[in-house]
Amino acid sequence: MVSGSDDQTMEEFTLHKGIAMHRSATIQQMCLMNPDAKEFKRPEWRASAFNMFMQWAYQGRFYIAFPEGPDHYDPLLKVYLLGKDLQATGLMTCTIQEMCRYSDKRRTLFSNAQIKQIYACSPPAGALRRLVVDQYVFNGDATQIDSNTEASVPKQFLGDLTRRALGKEKIKDDPCTRPENYIAKGLDLLEVQTNDANPQPRVASVNSSATTLSTLLAGSSRANPPSCTNDPRSLPSGGARPGAQDLPFSVGSDEESDA
C-alpha cells in the first residue's frame, strides 16, 4: 500500500514497461509524454480492475469470480470501463466475452441500473450496447416493457430494443453463445456526452494528448490486441522480456471506492 493525495489509500502494481505500452495505448502515451517518470499514480483506476488488466496483459485473458446476487455484472463493468480508459480494446473484448460466459452460466440479464451505466459510457452501435439489446430481444418480447422498466432505462435503449425486435434480421441463437459477434473496436473508445438531449460521441483523450478520431477508428494492433484470445507469449517487437524495465503503477484501493 502507498499513500496518494489527501491521504488516499492506494495500491502499487509493477509491470514490464514494454508489455504495458504494448497492451494499452493510454499507458503508451503516458510513457511517451513522461519518458523520465519513475512511477505513475492514477487514483481513479481501481485495484481490483487493474489486477484483471495485469492478468490479461501477460496471459491474454483474466479470471474473475462470479458473485451471487444483484451485483453480478458490476465487477466486469469496472474492468470494461478501465479497458476504455486504457484504450485497450482487447481487454474490453475479453470483458464482453466474460459477460457472455456469466450470462450463459447464470441465465441473468443486465439490471436497469447497469443498462443506464452501459448507455452512459458506450457509443451507439458499440459492441456492449449491441450485446445488451440482443440479450433482451432474445429473452423476451422487447416491445412489451412494463412502465417501471420504461421509466428507469435510457430512451435510447428502448428505441434500440424496438428497432432490433421489429427488424428483418431475427436473433435465432442466444447472443451470449456467440461472443465473437461483439468485438470492441476503435468506435467503442469514443466517449458519450450525456448532458445533451441527443448524446453525441466524442473522442477520449489522455492528459491533453492529441488523440484523433481517425486514429481510434483505424485502431492500433500494436497497442490494442484484437481480442483476449491473442497468444500471451506474443510480446512487442524488440520489446519486454522478464527482467526488462519495471513500471510501477499506483492505483486507488477498492476500500476507498466502497467507503
Q: H or E stretch including 112?
A: helix 112-121
Domain segments of the chain as ranges:
2-132+175-258
Q: Helices 74-85 & 89-106, crossing angle to 10 degrees?
A: 170
CA 55 remoteness from chain centre: 15
Backbone angles phi, psi at 80, to 5 degrees: -60, -45
pTM, full prediction: 0.78
- Of the candidates 120, 45, 130, the one whose C-alpha atom is nearest the C-alpha of residue 88 is 45
Q: Could you tell me if 142 and 105 are in contact, meaning their C-beta atoms sit under 8 angstroms apart?
A: no
- pLDDT 10s digit of each residue in the chain, 259 long? 333 344 568 899 999 999 999 999 999 999 999 988 888 999 999 999 999 999 999 999 998 777 666 577 899 999 999 999 999 999 999 999 999 988 877 778 888 899 999 999 999 999 999 999 999 888 875 555 666 677 789 999 999 998 998 887 888 888 989 999 999 999 999 977 654 434 444 444 444 333 333 333 333 333 443 333 334 445 444 444 444 588 888 888 877 554 4
